[in-house]
Structure 1
Amino acid sequence: MLETHCACSKLRRSARIVTSLYDAALAPSGLSVAQFALLRSLARTGPCSLTAFGEATCYDRSTLNRTLRPLEEAGYIASAAGPDRRARLIDITDKARSVIAAAEPHWRDAEARIDEALGEERVALFAILDRVEELRA
């Protein structure tokens, strides 16, 4: 692996490695880690506008739309006009709740691999990542 002293390169490379680990673990569920994370996040937020959900998950609107489209086509997400009819509200479906429940053991397996690799340093990593998230403009 190429050595780098660039924080962005190091974080992006680490993210690709971790994403690959979680994608492999979640493969039996048919979901990618990005899809699983969005479904779980939407389950926690409840019905909300795309704008609010994008802000909550740090996704820009076009990336969020591109990631949500296959989930909506698969019947995991339902959308409806909001109270003022200008904003589209999204929410998970019962089908999504079922696939989340089926995928969670696979997600826990991936979490266990991360825990095993990091041990006590996981707490420090999360503290550092929290500080990185505070850089959000």
Structure 2
Amino acid sequence: MTGGTDLPCTCLRLRQAARQVTRLYDRRLEPAGLRITQFPVLALLRADGPAPLGQLAERLVTDRTTLTRNLRPMEQAGLIETRADPEDRRRRLLVITEQGRAVLRRAAPLWRAAQDELATLLGPELRGRLTGDLDEVIARID
């Protein structure tokens, strides 16, 4: 089903490519105990500070249910925690913990290695086209 004439479904092809790329990043991040679905969560919380679930889901272009499911193991591992918003105690914020920061520091060079490996596999021309095309797909379908 992966051949060009078997099933000309754009969604299927995107999902197949995403799974292959995900496997590459997951292999590289494994020594830090992270998956590629977790790395950007920690990176965004570190860069942007505490965030409500909805805002984080929007930044990651995912739905709240999927994000909540992905956050559970991170919370159980002590990488993130939920706190009351000091400005509105009814609102909950996701916060990266010190342990999460430490894991992110260990994971950053592994993530960079995954980036470099993918860049090498794709080559500069394909990588540039792919990145631009995917950005356009995201913008047009939003």
Which TM class, normalised by the smaller chain length?
over 0.9
In structure 1, distance between residues paired with 2:24 and 2:33? 15
Cα distance in 2, alignment partners of residues 64 and 31 from structure 1: 15
Q: Which runs of 5+ in 1 are unaligned?
A: none
Amino acid at match of 2:83: A
Matches within 5 A, 1:40-119: 40-82=43-85, 83-119=87-123
Once residues 33 and 51 of structure 2 are traced to their aligned partners in structure 1, the CA distance between those partners, rounded to angstroms, is 25
User: Cα RMSD between the aligned structures?
Assistant: 1.3
Offset from partner CA, 1:40-64 (integer Å, 9 cap, x none): 1222221111111111111211111
Structure 1 residues 74-123: Cα deviation after superposition (integer angstroms, max 9, x where no partner): 11112111222222111101111111111112111111111101122211
What TM-score, normalized by structure 1, do the two folds share?
A: 0.93
Distance in structure 1 (CA, Å) of the matches to 2:97 and 2:48: 13
- Residue aligning to 1:122: 127
Cα separation, 1, equivalents of 2:14 and 2:50 = 31
**d(CA) in 2 for partners of 1:102 and 1:12?**
28
- In structure 2, list runs of 5 or more residues that go unmatched: none
Distance 1:136 1:77, change over 3 A: farther
Count of matched residue pairs: 137
SS across alignment from 1:48: coil
Q: Runs (4+) of structure 1 moved beyond 6 Å?
A: none
| TM-score with structure 2 setting the length | 0.90
The amino acid that maps onto 2:94 is I
